[in-house]
Chain A
Amino acid sequence: MEPVIAAWHRLKALLRRRRLDRDLDDELAFHLAMREAESVRDGLSGDRARAYARRRFGNVTHFKEQSREMWMFPSFESFVSDVKLALRTLRRSPGFAGVAVLALALGIGGNTAIFSLVDAVRAHALPYKDPDRLVALWGNVMRARVERRGTSYPDYSDWRTQSRSFESMAAVDLQSITLVGDETERIPAEYVAASYFAVLGVEASRGRTFLDSEDVVAAPADVTVLSDGLWKRRFGADPGIVGRVITLCCGARSYTIVGVMPPGFKGITDRAELWVPFATYAPAPSMADRGSRGFAPIARLKPGVTMTAAQAELDAIAKQLERAYPATNEKRGVEVSALDVELVGALRPALLTLMVAVAFVLLIACANVANLMIARSEARRREIAVRAALGAGRGRLLRQLITESCVLTALGALVGLAVAHETVVLLVAQSPVTFPSFVTPELDSRVATFTIVVSLLCGILVGLAPGLQARAVDLNSALKDTARGSDSRRSHRLRGALVVAELAMAVVLLVGAGLMIRSVRNLVAIDPGFDPNNILAMRVTIPRSNVTAQDGAATAPPQPIIMGRALLDRIRALPGVSAATLGTDLPLDGGGAASFYAAEGMPATNAQNVPRGYVHRVSSEFFTVLRIPMIAGRTFAESEMTPTSSAIIVSDRVVKRFWPGQDPIGKRIKFGPATSVNPWMSIVGVVAEVKYRGLPDNPTADPDLYLPFGERNSQLALAIRGTVPPATLVAPVRMLIRSIDTTIPVYATASMDELIGSQTSQSRFTMWLMGIFALVALSLAVVGIYGVMSYLVSQRTREIGIRLALGASGGDILRLIVGNGARLIAAGITVGVALAFALQRLVTSLLFGVTAANGISVAAIGLLAAVALLACYVPAVRAARVDPLHALRYE
């Protein structure tokens, strides 16, 4: 109780300090006056009475001071005075303060920026209720290696009904849907189970989400939920939107709007603007196909159930299913994966690397400032000695120095914070990596705490160096010694060590940046297997006309309003277009699906390596327009361009697997098992492998199978090769298509180069930042070595003067100083290279085709060495020009 009371009294006193002082003065004056008066009564004269009173009282100032201290928080108040002193000292040397604050601001600001990014991605990443209980469920396939795939509706239903680990589970898949209206457009839409919104814990802001009764495969309801963005953009935020009917999909199907989601909600894919019941995902027969691999559902774990437990339960269910349905479920498993890892996990290794890099930058900045502080504390030796002589304890002096450096780092942190926020927003906006829309780095309390802790740590670190120096001050010599020549060796060693550390860290960052640059160069240099230059990719969906065939026969299927190949002819006629082709999908555009196939006359294989290929339907000029080399045979003939043609073109891997060294033309394969009723297809041509599904390589080593484009597909992928930059072709092509029919949506337009660029975006993002950090590190390190060398020179002016007077030449002096610096540089580089090797594991996951061994670029280190040597050379030249007379009179 008592300490609390005391603290409370002291706190109150803090606010009334002046009054307290006056009271104390009055109180003591009263005492003295009383004593004096009494002495006068006892017969002493005025002056002697006063002197007597004072003698009886003792040292007035001393007791006053002591009484006052009773009211103070001694450590706090001396801290305040330390801070004031520090600010005064810094104001007296604005140059030093400016450089130090700037270096620290760079370091701390960079750390704050990257940390707020890491924090946004890591901790509160998902904007859903209890995000740590959300998981994604993958239908794994054990082939040569385990492949992550989706699952089928029947498997999903079994998981859902048989498992006990989950509160709820929901199917979800992103597709695009045509919204017909004044402006027909393709809209990213999620097909979702009715439970989807409950799994995420999100409710409609208007109307409602789906009912279980609307999500029945046998009788799906035509209902839809809009995103807030779509509602505002397309429907003018109509308050009476619920109940309105809109037309979706190619066949004019009407959907009733039942709800609008809250602002910012775009589904787990972060792109959806529309939701429809999962029951409408595919026609009922396809939904019943247990062998399909369409989608990965999400689920919410029951409270207290771990991912491991859920995984074990689903493993058991998958085993049961495998026994019950061997034909479709052999070698099929389930993988439970945390949803936040799925959505933002890919960014983490890069951010972690950047965090380490930026921490290095901060360490270099600290070393630099510590160096400056040591230099200053050398100059302030006398001041410090005087303080020590006046009774300041060692601890008190150390605290003074650390307070001073903490004031510096706090200023640095302030400046750093100011720029960090802007920087990180810019970073997210400009980054080639697309951050999920909910990643909004903010300067919240966690980031602020981080910054404060970091700056305090830096302050202590920076203050400790000169503080330890001050410990060794020998009062006598420091007070007497006006000479600066004979200064301590310890200081030189410490400062040398700091410079070596700075250089070493700069080397690590340079090596890191070098690795990233090389890696990106390797990525860019990959031959994708086709020629992406000057190719514009886009997708269109050709609606079917509602009118069936003129004779009114009900069996005739609805016809596309324009044939894809007719569209191609019109596009080719546009100026600037040199060639155009179409297919169901293009390389790297994310389309395409795999099918099992069988080669004629080949023995049956087990489930782990059933032949599988990615199927694309393409027009006959596809290979020439994309410049995919034809290895054998020919492309499709005009007569083969029908949906039922038996001609097929395969990629080289098919031949290598089944008919190595034989003529593949005329060999036959079929989709599904060899025993199925599917027709055999004859190989008419063989093309080279293409990086169709990803760079640096396809995720799986499956071949591509090309079938003739038979006008059956309404979704077309166009590849247009221009004689002008692809971007300039977008507008004319759009105009042309609109002139044919306004209900044809054009979407996903991108140049092939952009598609390739998006494959390497993360590497480029990391490369950029690493590059920037490395440059900052390099310049800080160079400033550091320059500072040390010029300080060294100014310290040794007298020694140099003597050497010159004794006959040393300017060249000798130059060699002496540069040699000194070169030793530091060599040590720094050696340590740095060793460190880089030790740290290379951290970045290997981000690299493509480089290891630290071949990535340590001699050029980068050469650059560092050269710049650092230059930084030594300048002070060395100054030393060589020293006038011996002047130097000896230097004191």
Chain B
Amino acid sequence: MLILKTLSRGDQHGYAIAQFIQQASAEVLRVEEGALYPALHRLEVRGLLKAEWGASDNNRRAKFYRLTASGRRALEQESAFWDRVAGAVSRVMQMA
């Protein structure tokens, strides 16, 4: 979901996605960066992402990922689901 969300802001390569998630989450969600790639490839195989080779900011060859239409739909579903769950969890936490 985080990957999909990141890409909804525009096409990115793997390194930039990793950077963005770390920074946006204020370094809370910092895992081994390599774990990103199996996830990216899984999403690509499932057709939620499309990949293209392009030039990075510093003019190196990099693989850019773009959200597909079905990727966008999946993101909507998942974020709606997440909102419900997170809302429910926080309500429970507040009540306790």
Residues of A within 8 A of B (CB): 2, 5-6, 9-10, 13, 23-24, 26-28, 30-31, 33-35, 37, 56-60, 62-64, 66-71
B37 in contact (CB, < 8 A): yes
Q: Which residues of A contact B62 (CB under 8 A)?
A: 27, 30
Interface string of B24-56 (1 = CB under 8 A from A): 000000001111011011101111000001001
Interface string of B1-27 (1 = CB under 8 A from A): 000000000000111001000000000
Interface string of B58-82 (1 = CB under 8 A from A): 1011110000001000000000000
Query: By the criterion CB–CB under 8 Å, are A30 and B45 in contact?
Result: no
Q: Which residues of B contact A10 (CB under 8 A)?
A: 45
Query: By the criterion CB–CB under 8 Å, are B38 and A70 in contact?
Result: yes
Query: By the criterion CB–CB under 8 Å, are B46 and A62 in contact?
Result: no
Please give 16 more A-B residue pairs, beta carbons under 8 A apart, in addition to A2-B70, A58-B32. A2-B47, A6-B45, A6-B46, A9-B47, A27-B37, A30-B56, A33-B60, A37-B58, A56-B33, A57-B32, A58-B34, A63-B35, A63-B38, A66-B38, A67-B37, A68-B41
* Interchain Cβ contacts under 8 Å between A and B, 9 examples: A2-B46, A26-B63, A27-B14, A30-B61, A34-B56, A35-B33, A56-B33, A67-B40, A70-B38
Chain B residue, CB-CB nearest to A69: B38
A27 vs B38: C-alpha distance in the bound complex, in angstroms? 12
Q: Which residues of A contact B14 (CB under 8 A)?
A: 27, 30-31
Chain A residue, CB-CB nearest to B74: A2
Contact of A9 among B37, B40, B44, B58 (CB under 8 A): B44
Query: By the criterion CB–CB under 8 Å, are B63 and A59 in contact?
Result: no
Q: Which residues of A contact B34 (CB under 8 A)?
A: 28, 57-60, 62-63
Chain B residue, CB-CB nearest to A5: B47
Query: By the criterion CB–CB under 8 Å, are A63 and B37 in contact?
Result: yes
Q: Which residues of B contact A30 (CB under 8 A)?
A: 13-15, 56, 60-63
Q: Which residues of B contact A56 (CB under 8 A)?
A: 32-33
Q: Which residues of B contact A69 (CB under 8 A)?
A: 38
Contact of B15 among A2, A6, A13, A31 (CB under 8 A): A31
Query: By the criterion CB–CB under 8 Å, are A70 and B63 in contact?
Result: no
Min CB gap A36→B, angstroms: 11
Q: Which residues of A contact B35 (CB under 8 A)?
A: 58, 63
Q: Which 4 A-B pairs have the closest CB atoms?
A: A58-B32, A63-B34, A66-B38, A58-B34
Contact of A70 among B13, B18, B45, B60 (CB under 8 A): B45
Min CB gap B30→A, angstroms: 9
A66 vs B37: C-alpha distance in the bound complex, in angstroms? 8
Question: How many residues on chain B are close to A (CB under 8 Å)?
Answer: 25
Q: Which residues of B contact A37 (CB under 8 A)?
A: 58
Query: By the criterion CB–CB under 8 Å, are B61 and A58 in contact?
Result: no
A33 vs B53: C-alpha distance in the bound complex, in angstroms? 17
Contact of B45 among A9, A33, A58, A59 (CB under 8 A): A9
A185 vs B12: C-alpha distance in the bound complex, in angstroms? 93
Q: Which residues of B contact A34 (CB under 8 A)?
A: 15, 56, 60
Chain B residue, CB-CB nearest to A58: B32
A6 vs B46: C-alpha distance in the bound complex, in angstroms? 5
Q: Which residues of B contact A33 (CB under 8 A)?
A: 60
Interface string of B72-95 (1 = CB under 8 A from A): 000000000000000000000000
Q: Which residues of B contact A2 (CB under 8 A)?
A: 46-47, 70
Query: By the criterion CB–CB under 8 Å, are B18 and A31 in contact?
Result: yes
Q: Which residues of B contact A9 (CB under 8 A)?
A: 44-45, 47
Residues of B within 8 A of A (CB): 13-15, 18, 32-35, 37-38, 40-42, 44-47, 53, 56, 58, 60-63, 70
Min CB gap B47→A, angstroms: 4
Q: Which residues of A contact B45 (CB under 8 A)?
A: 6, 9-10, 13, 70-71
Min CB gap B21→A, angstroms: 13
Q: Which residues of A contact B70 (CB under 8 A)?
A: 2
Query: By the criterion CB–CB under 8 Å, are B41 and A67 in contact?
Result: yes
Query: By the criterion CB–CB under 8 Å, are A57 and B33 in contact?
Result: yes
Q: Which residues of A contact B37 (CB under 8 A)?
A: 24, 27-28, 31, 63-64, 66-67
A535 vs B33: C-alpha distance in the bound complex, in angstroms? 99
Query: By the criterion CB–CB under 8 Å, are A70 and B61 in contact?
Result: no
Query: By the criterion CB–CB under 8 Å, are B41 and A71 in contact?
Result: yes
- A31 in contact with B33 given A6-B46, A6-B47, A26-B61 (CB within 8 Å): yes
A45 vs B40: C-alpha distance in the bound complex, in angstroms? 31
Q: Which residues of B contact A26 (CB under 8 A)?
A: 61, 63
Q: Which residues of B contact A58 (CB under 8 A)?
A: 32-35
A59 vs B32: C-alpha distance in the bound complex, in angstroms? 9
Q: Which residues of B contact A31 (CB under 8 A)?
A: 14-15, 18, 33, 37
Chain B residue, CB-CB nearest to A65: B38
Q: Which residues of A contact B53 (CB under 8 A)?
A: 23
Q: Which residues of A contact B46 (CB under 8 A)?
A: 2, 5-6
Q: Which residues of A contact B13 (CB under 8 A)?
A: 30
Chain B residue, CB-CB nearest to A23: B63
Min CB gap B81→A, angstroms: 17
A24 vs B36: C-alpha distance in the bound complex, in angstroms? 13
- Give the interface centre of A24, A31, A71 by most chain B CB atoms within 10 Å: A31
A57 vs B35: C-alpha distance in the bound complex, in angstroms? 8
A33 vs B58: C-alpha distance in the bound complex, in angstroms? 11
Min CB gap A16→B, angstroms: 13
Q: Which residues of B contact A71 (CB under 8 A)?
A: 41, 45
Q: Which residues of B contact A60 (CB under 8 A)?
A: 34
Q: Which residues of A contact B42 (CB under 8 A)?
A: 70
Q: Which residues of B contact A23 (CB under 8 A)?
A: 53, 63
Chain A residue, CB-CB nearest to B18: A31
A339 vs B1: C-alpha distance in the bound complex, in angstroms? 69
Q: Which residues of A contact B15 (CB under 8 A)?
A: 30-31, 34-35
- Give the interface centre of A34, A37, A60 by most chain B CB atoms within 10 Å: A34
Q: Which residues of B contact A5 (CB under 8 A)?
A: 46-47
Chain B residue, CB-CB nearest to A72: B45
A62 vs B62: C-alpha distance in the bound complex, in angstroms? 21
Q: Which residues of A contact B38 (CB under 8 A)?
A: 63, 66-67, 69-70
A294 vs B33: C-alpha distance in the bound complex, in angstroms? 94
A6 vs B33: C-alpha distance in the bound complex, in angstroms? 25
A482 vs B56: C-alpha distance in the bound complex, in angstroms? 59
A56 vs B18: C-alpha distance in the bound complex, in angstroms? 11
A35 vs B34: C-alpha distance in the bound complex, in angstroms? 12
Query: By the criterion CB–CB under 8 Å, are A70 and B47 in contact?
Result: no
Chain B residue, CB-CB nearest to A27: B63
Q: Which residues of B contact A35 (CB under 8 A)?
A: 15, 33
A471 vs B78: C-alpha distance in the bound complex, in angstroms? 44
A62 vs B47: C-alpha distance in the bound complex, in angstroms? 23
Min CB gap A411→B, angstroms: 35
Q: Which residues of B contact A27 (CB under 8 A)?
A: 14, 37, 62-63
Chain B residue, CB-CB nearest to A70: B41
Q: Which residues of A contact B18 (CB under 8 A)?
A: 31
A729 vs B18: C-alpha distance in the bound complex, in angstroms? 102
A70 vs B48: C-alpha distance in the bound complex, in angstroms? 14
Min CB gap B15→A, angstroms: 4
A452 vs B33: C-alpha distance in the bound complex, in angstroms? 48
Chain A residue, CB-CB nearest to B63: A27
Q: Which residues of B contact A66 (CB under 8 A)?
A: 37-38
Min CB gap B76→A, angstroms: 16
Q: Which residues of A contact B41 (CB under 8 A)?
A: 24, 67-68, 70-71
A62 vs B61: C-alpha distance in the bound complex, in angstroms? 23
Min CB gap A70→B, angstroms: 4
A69 vs B37: C-alpha distance in the bound complex, in angstroms? 11
A30 vs B51: C-alpha distance in the bound complex, in angstroms? 15
Min CB gap A780→B, angstroms: 49
Q: Which residues of B contact A64 (CB under 8 A)?
A: 37
Q: Which residues of A contact B33 (CB under 8 A)?
A: 31, 35, 56-58
Min CB gap B16→A, angstroms: 8
A9 vs B43: C-alpha distance in the bound complex, in angstroms? 11
Min CB gap A22→B, angstroms: 11
Min CB gap A74→B, angstroms: 12
A23 vs B62: C-alpha distance in the bound complex, in angstroms? 10
A50 vs B75: C-alpha distance in the bound complex, in angstroms? 35
Q: Which residues of A contact B58 (CB under 8 A)?
A: 37
A64 vs B62: C-alpha distance in the bound complex, in angstroms? 16
